[in-house]
Amino acid sequence: GAVVSQHPSWVICKSGTSVKIECRSLDFQATTMFWYRQFPKQSLMLMATSNEGSKATYEQGVEKDKFLINHASLTLSTLTVTSAHPEDSSFYICSATGGQPQHFGDGTRLSIL
């Protein structure tokens, strides 16, 4: 079946570093990709929606300059956490769809020291 690959699965880095997370659709064309953030023991919160070839639409309260999203092709979207700080530590999950259904990646656990 359709698979979404998210990389890396876990990253630890120093405060001030920028971190890039990739989300790839492996066997379908993802016209839309979503990025979620999940705090410990909480639900997923949608951060932004990206359509291939256009700018991402960010949810209220999500800093566009902090969380850069690029969806340059139908199989790849990237989320870059710029100048990450400890409060950015979280579990980030992407999902992709070419219509229906939506497929989720396995998530990236980001820890900022």
- Residues of this chain that interact with other proteins (CB under 8 A) are 6, 32, 34, 41-44, 46, 49, 93, 95, 97, 99-102, 104-107, 109
Closest CB 66 distance from other proteins, rounded Å? 21
Closest CB 11 distance from other proteins, rounded Å? 14
Residue 66 vs 91, nearer CB to other proteins: 91
Whole-angstrom CA distances from 33 to 2, 55, 77, 87 are 14, 12, 7, 24
* Residue entry with tokens 């259904």: 101
- Parallel, antiparallel, or unpaired: how do β-strands 90-97 and 108-112 relate? antiparallel
Q: What is the total residue count of the chain?
A: 113
Closest CB 15 distance from other proteins, rounded Å? 23
> How many angstroms from the chain centroid is the CA of residue 30?
14
Residue 67 vs 92, nearer CB to other proteins: 92
